[in-house]
Amino acid sequence: MDYFLELFFGGLTRGSIYALIAVGYTMVYGIIELINFAHGEIYMIGAFTALVVAGVLTALGLPALAILAVALAAAIVWSAAYGFTVEKIAYKPLRTAPRLSPLISAIGMSIFLQNYVMLAQTSDFLPFPKLLPEIGFLKPYRAVIGTSEIFIILATALSCAGLTLFIKFTRMGKAMRATAQNRKMALLVGVNVDRVISLTFIIGSSLAAVGGVLIASHIGQINFMIGFLAGIKAFTAAVLGGIGSIPGAMLGGLVLGWTESFATGYVSSDYEDVFAFLLLVLILIFRPSGILGKAPTQKV
């Protein structure tokens, strides 16, 4: 039973990170039907920002919790700024272009950001400080679930709940839903579509930054390439859950995390990816629009 729980929490932690990144993919896709391949890089930039800020603050001798809070906030702001800028530079000029053009632009942006960070920082692996504090009374249980894993799961749950409330109950959330349904109609009824799109990128990037900081602190290392594989997996999670659907992305992330964890635990880690993508294939065969995705209505 312990073994099952360990795998369960391991999968939940990993799935939470996937979910945080997947939300950004799915929101952008929902609104402008673009697969933002540079999203994984935004996640990586978030982690790097936290690394730099935490380094400075540690040198100044601030308490651990303050460092965590400031580093996380800085990562969110910085990543959001990157997400915003990437959209303005790489996607906005192509909004009326054929769908393939922004896709290529996104891949280009991804490569650019990776190489930019590699040149500006380093191509080597760097140690990442343990920002998440260890809580004393949980220590005996850390073989099953560590404090940092609890932090990751809680932070993900809070972020997802916050996002859901925001979309359901605020004016801006309503505007987002309207834009997602039909951009032209939203424009006609007075929604500032450009602003909605910018906000979508900002929110998605912020969540990715949270994921980046948490996981880097959990595993203790960072590199300019970390966004690539995480991005691919998160994109898979978004498709699995139904691209365009926010609860779908969250669910997809968790399902993917659990699948990988249990496949490793009960079969073999050699087949971790095999099972993850087998699941994707199966779900797409039986539910082509993903677990929670809605079949697209034909607009006549």
Which stretch in 58-66, 156-164, 221-229, 286-294 sits in contact with other proteins by CB under 8 A? 221-229
SS3 222: strand
Amino acid 137 reads F
Which stretch in 32-40, 186-194, 217-225, 240-248 sits in contact with other proteins by CB under 8 A? 217-225
Is position 11 an interface residue for other proteins (rule: CB under 8 A)?
A: yes
Among candidates 12, 2, 7, which has minimal Cα distance to 257?
A: 12
From candidates 58, 101, 265, 277, binder to other proteins by CB under 8 A: 265
CB-CB contact of 42 with 24 (8 Å): yes
- Quote the strand ranges of the chain, DSSP E: 126-127, 221-222
**Beta carbon of residue 212, minimum distance to other proteins (angstroms, whole number):** 11
Is position 270 an interface residue for other proteins (rule: CB under 8 A)?
A: yes
Give the nearer residue to other proteins in terms of CB position, either 37 or 91. 37
Among candidates 95, 76, 86, which has minimal Cα distance to 33?
A: 95
**Beta carbon of residue 132, minimum distance to other proteins (angstroms, whole number):** 11
From candidates 221, 278, 282, 288, binder to other proteins by CB under 8 A: 221
Is position 14 an interface residue for other proteins (rule: CB under 8 A)?
A: yes
From candidates 17, 80, 213, 249, binder to other proteins by CB under 8 A: 17
**Beta carbon of residue 233, minimum distance to other proteins (angstroms, whole number):** 7
In terms of DSSP H, where are the helices of 87-224?
100-120, 147-169, 171-181, 183-188, 193-219
From candidates 238, 260, 279, 283, binder to other proteins by CB under 8 A: 260
- Structure tokens given for 61: 């001798």
**Beta carbon of residue 149, minimum distance to other proteins (angstroms, whole number):** 8
φ/ψ of 221, rounded to 5, equals -150, 160
**Beta carbon of residue 282, minimum distance to other proteins (angstroms, whole number):** 21
Per-residue binding string, other proteins, 106-145, x by CB under 8 A, is ------------------xxxx--------------xx--
Amino acid 270 reads D
Give the nearer residue to other proteins in terms of CB position, either 90 or 234. 234
- Distance CA(247)–CA(245), nearest Å, equals 6
Is position 226 an interface residue for other proteins (rule: CB under 8 A)?
A: yes
- Structure tokens given for 64: 């651990």
Give the nearer residue to other proteins in terms of CB position, either 211 or 242. 211
Give the nearer residue to other proteins in terms of CB position, either 156 or 223. 223
Distances from the Cα of 137 to the Cαs of 8, 130, 147, in angstroms?
Answer: 21, 18, 10
CB-CB contact of 54 with 78 (8 Å): no
Hey, what long-range contacts does 142-145 have (CB within 8 A, 24 or more apart)? 143/6, 144/2, 144/5, 144/6, 144/9, 145/5, 145/6, 145/9
- Distance CA(123)–CA(41), nearest Å, equals 14
- What residues between 156 and 175 interact with other proteins by CB under 8 A? none
SS3 35: coil
- Distance CA(3)–CA(265), nearest Å, equals 8
Is position 215 an interface residue for other proteins (rule: CB under 8 A)?
A: yes
Tell me which residues touch other proteins (CB under 8 A): 3, 6-7, 10-11, 13-14, 17-18, 124-127, 142-143, 146, 149, 215, 218-221, 223, 225-226, 228-230, 233, 260-262, 264-265, 268-270, 272-273
